[in-house]
Amino acid sequence: MKRNILIVGAGRSASSMIKYLLDKSEQEHLHLTIGDISLISAQKKALNHTNATPIVFDIFEDKVRAKEVSKSDIVISMLPANLHLILAKECLLQKKHLVTASYISPQMKELDTEVRNAKLIFMNEVGLDPGIDHMSAMRMINDIKEKGGKIKSFESYCGGLIAPESDNNYWNYKFTWNPRNVVVAGQGTAAKYLKEGQFKLIPYTQLFRRAERLTINNHEDYEVYANRDSLKYQNDYGLQDASTIIRGTIRRLGYSRAWSLFVDLGLTDDSYTIDNSKNLTYKDFIDLFLPFHPTDSIEAKFKLALHIAPHDSVWLKIQELDLFNSTKKVNIQNATPAQILEKILNEKWALEPQDKDMIIMYHRIKYTLKNKNKQINATMACIGDNQTYTAMAKTVGLPVAIATLMILNKQINKPGVQLPITKDIYLPILEELHQNNISFTEEEQDI
């Protein structure tokens, strides 16, 4: 008898997950129902496979949601994070397991008692970041502790970048995942972290100005900015004695300083809409945020307002984006500044058919063992195959697929709303990822 997996959301991060499950569908007796608001998207991901049924799925259609969840043995939600809860409550009502790649929200966490009582597994944070970062970090942390080591410093960084062979713009960046998430990254809170025993805050307005250089494996230079709350997992990771705890995002050198100009000007604001935005040209849009001057060009005003020197290399990045085009229209009604900026950037930063993306993840842990100070560095680099099977899709989707099979096969038994930080979960997933060419290179040294 086939075991039914309902997949809700057939976006760009779902491709590798669906292919992995379809490749195992005969062996594992699986049937996939792939639901998306766009039937075309669902059909593309189904690959005309006999064990896949693409359907139109609107999360807000109560009858469709109830019917499809009831027919499933387990549900995978690849929806935007703010929609998981609707599906989670339906899964709870229908007594079905749930897997997501997203952070556990406070509202999701509140379901924990009910989920436990129903003997269900709601596995969250089992994608890339969060996901592979948790699992790889926990393996390193537990290995150190099992040897008798004491962790003093924990740093973890991850970035979705463009692969070197496809890197052909001044920003050294293209969209490899949801563009909106890039535009609004870091908003709504201050970044929090611990540095040599001191608690630190970085408000959003300063976040990209406080990026720091990171040299990986002694030869590759990047820059990193702090994630929202690096201390969120201090207890989960068992890092109560660590004096430094930092989690951050990786970008190529120079990106953060250029992006901070957009923040300074207000272009990333998503809290209000602009009247008559549809008819604005790109130049009109930028000019809204600049001081009035009767004769200065918009370029001159932009440089003056943001203190850009005449020969500053950051200007090459700004010019490349076509921000001052006086003929192209925004063509989005009642748009927020962030929505308009996203549209403009997407025209320049969308992956071309031949482009490949790259995921970099890096952990640096300092610890003491037998009165010696040591450091271990772990690096994971993954290059995408093409526009469909991107590195982002692989690293987000494959651990989701593996965890789903582990739940179906009763290799994961503990009920509740959870993340993959116990050895019985992370070791098999990391091993399977290794078999699929997603693995870490570790270097250990005395310091």
Amino acid code (one letter) for 219: H
Q: Point out which residues pair with 381 in neighbouring strands.
A: 360
Q: What is the pLDDT of residues 414-445, one digit of tens each?
A: 999 999 999 999 999 999 999 999 999 999 99
Instruction: Output the pLDDT for position 36.
Output: 96
Q: What is the pLDDT of residues 81-126, one digit of tens each?
A: 899 999 999 999 999 999 999 999 999 999 999 999 999 999 999 9
Q: What is the pLDDT of residues 159-173, one digit of tens each?
A: 999 999 999 999 999
Whether 187 and 204 have beta carbons less than 8 Å apart is answered as yes
Contacts for 295 with CB less than 8 Å, ≥ 6 apart? none
Whether 78 and 9 have beta carbons less than 8 Å apart is answered as yes
Q: Kindly list the distances between the CA atom of residue 428 and the CA atoms of 187, 402, 406, 421, 424, in Å, as whole numbers in the listed order.
A: 35, 9, 9, 12, 7
- Show the tokens assigned to 278: 């549809």
Measured between alpha carbons, how far is 188 from 125 in angstroms, rounded to an integer?
21
Instruction: Output the pLDDT for position 219.
Output: 72
pLDDT confidence band for 310 (50 / 70 / 90): confident
Whether 191 and 202 have beta carbons less than 8 Å apart is answered as yes
> CB count, 10 Å around CB of 340?
22
- Show the tokens assigned to 374: 């040591």
- Show the tokens assigned to 88: 């989670």
Q: Give me the residue label for tokens 């259609």.
A: 61
Q: Give me the residue label for tokens 């749930």.
A: 98
pLDDT surpasses 90 at 151: yes
Annotate 76-124 with DSSP letters as a single string: EE-S-GGGHHHHHHHHHHHT-EEEESS---HHHHTTHHHHHHTT-EEE-
Q: What is the pLDDT of residues 45-86, one digit of tens each?
A: 999 999 999 999 999 999 999 999 999 999 999 998 899 999
Q: What is the pLDDT of residues 211-256, one digit of tens each?
A: 999 999 777 899 999 999 999 999 999 999 999 999 999 999 999 9
Contacts for 354 with CB less than 8 Å, ≥ 6 apart? 166, 386
pLDDT confidence band for 261 (50 / 70 / 90): very high
Instruction: Output the pLDDT for position 177.
Output: 80
> CB count, 10 Å around CB of 150?
11
SS3 207: helix
pLDDT surpasses 80 at 329: yes
Q: Please, what are the domains in the chain?
A: 3-124 (3.40.50.720)
pLDDT surpasses 80 at 306: yes
In the chain, the percentage of residues whose pLDDT exceeds 90 is: 93
In the predicted model, what is the mean pLDDT of residues 278-298?
A: 96
In the predicted model, what is the mean pLDDT of residues 365-393?
A: 94
446 vs 340: which has the higher pLDDT: 340
Instruction: Output the pLDDT for position 1.
Output: 83
